Amino acid sequence: MREGLVSDSAESANLRDRIITASVLVPVAVLASLAGGWLFLCLALPLMCIGILEFFVMEKDRPMQGSSLTGIPTALAIVLGFYLGSDWLWQAALGLGLAATLALEIARQPRRPDYALAQVGTTLCGILYLAFPTAFLVSLRNRPEDGLMWLFVVYAITWGTDTFAYVFGRFFGRTKLAPLISPNKTVEGAIGGIICAWVLAFFILLVAGRLEPRLAPMIVVGPFLAVGGDLFESGLKRIFRVKDSYVAGFNVFPGHGGVLDRIDALVWVASWVFFYLVSSGTA
């Protein structure tokens, strides 16, 4: 009985922290998104850097740990390249960053080139996982006529899925979705989150006068990727045996476990929306 009360109390405290954090961060994110430009970039870049740091720290004490020393500057240059519309900048940054990582790790462990190659690989994974989705978000927001709309479509899919999956799971959840990866997630919660995300995203397109049949597949698939992105990050934590992703001193989202825990779905949805719009000729 006592254990149950302690568990309920801890859960209530965690929920309170989540609500307080969201009440502060959501308005900041919305205002920065409305402003766009350098203000939006200045919000995105620090969060991306902390997320990459969390990704690499999860791999600590392993030969394959990625390099923050080269990975973070490379990521910053990639996002700036997209922001400035300079393909050569992000391409050069990616090539030079990986070359620098290889040279650095070979210098550190000249007798273990296999370790150096592994660290180049995980550094690249961190860049692909976080830098490019951040760049895609910035690129979407920079669209002169409809950038804000696409950004809010991404938010509707991501936040709608996450928020309503939590609500439906809390009140109606019975069937475990992926018990070995994330025991608290339920099928009922996922279904509720997906449906509500569809409603929100289609509503934004309707209000913006962009409710077109060719955009329907993008909206329909988006929430499934949001759920998948959440499970992917949970799987990473299982693999590296960490409970939360945050790094000591950089827990900017109290009650949420870390930056990666907050953007795990966003990076997948942002990438999907960006590539869908580009490939369909919409953006």
Strand ranges inside the chain, DSSP E: 176-178, 182-186
pLDDT at 121: 93
Give dist(CA 146, CA 151) in Å, integer.
9
Q: Does position 13 have pLDDT exceeding 60, yes or no?
A: no
Q: Does position 230 have pLDDT exceeding 70, yes or no?
A: yes
Mean pLDDT of the chain: 88
Amino acid, res. 255: G
pLDDT at 244: 73
Q: Does position 103 have pLDDT exceeding 70, yes or no?
A: yes
| Residue whose C-alpha is closest to residue 52's, from 260, 229, 267 | 260
3-state helix vs strand vs coil in the chain, percent to 5? 80, 5, 20
Residue pLDDT, tens place only, 113-133: 888 898 999 999 999 999 999
Q: Does position 45 have pLDDT exceeding 50, yes or no?
A: yes
Burial of residue 88 (number of CB atoms within 10 Å: 0-12, 13-18, 19+):
exposed
Contact (Cβ atoms closer than 8 angstroms) between residue 39 and residue 273: no
Q: Does position 21 have pLDDT exceeding 80, yes or no?
A: no
pLDDT at 46: 94
Domain boundaries, the chain: 36-142, 144-283
